[in-house]
């Protein structure tokens, strides 16, 4: 049996990383996903949004679970979907990061435009997601409850704190 990450979680991880820095490869991946109709139609955008704010909150505050520990990151910043969706220009990108992702490679402007348009669903944060987007440590009880109630119940009874 193979253990794999749900695509929604992978997308949320890329969104969280782009909340800290603009990597061309993440922009390319997110763009490719949303311009591939067979993939896009199957995505749970509410789950992506929820996982995104949870990943950003955990990056800022850390979480323990049994013998595992996700430590807080060094470059955490609150999640502002409107700012995240703003078009990025070439000076925002690590231009060496794009590598040979595609032939021909997409322009930075094109990647930014696709991301701004196709990830507009990130603006629709619910009240709990808006609270966690502020990445305050005092919101740990809410973050832990949201982690416990994720689909598939994987974190429900594992002693996350």
Q: How many domains does the chain have?
A: 1
Is residue 120 assigned to a domain? yes
The pLDDT score that the predictor gives to residue 51 is: 95
Average pLDDT of adjacent 10-residue blocks, the chain of 161 residues: 84 94 88 87 93 95 75 82 90 67 72 94 98 96 91 66 62
The pLDDT score that the predictor gives to residue 150 is: 86
The pLDDT score that the predictor gives to residue 61 is: 92
Is residue 105 assigned to a domain? yes
The pLDDT score that the predictor gives to residue 155 is: 63
Please give the model's pTM, rounded to 2 decimal places: 0.86
Q: Is 51 left (phi over 0), alpha (psi -120 to 50) or beta?
A: alpha
Is residue 160 assigned to a domain? no
Is residue 128 assigned to a domain? yes
Give the C-alpha separation, 125 to 93, whole Å.
26
Q: Which residues constitute the domain of residue 24? A: 7-153
The pLDDT score that the predictor gives to residue 96 is: 65
């Amino acid at each position: 049996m193979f253990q794999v990450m749900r695509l929604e979680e992978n997308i949320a991880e890329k969104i969280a990383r782009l909340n800290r820095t603009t990597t061309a490869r993440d922009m390319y991946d997110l763009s490719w996903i949303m311009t591939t109709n067979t993939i896009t139609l199957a995505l749970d955008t509410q789950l992506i949004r929820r996982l995104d704010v949870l990943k950003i909150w955990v990056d800022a505050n850390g979480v323990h679970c049994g013998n595992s520990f996700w430590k807080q990151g060094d470059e955490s910043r609150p999640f502002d979907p409107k700012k995240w969706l703003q078009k990025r220009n070439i000076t925002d990108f690590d231009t060496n990061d794009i590598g040979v992702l595609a032939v021909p490679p997409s322009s930075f402007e094109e990647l930014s435009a696709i991301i701004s348009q196709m990830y507009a669903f990130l603006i629709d944060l619910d009240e709990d997601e808006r609270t966690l987007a502020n990445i305050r440590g005092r919101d740990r009880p809410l973050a832990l409850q949201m982690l416990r109630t994720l689909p598939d119940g994987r974190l429900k009874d594992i002693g996350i704190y």
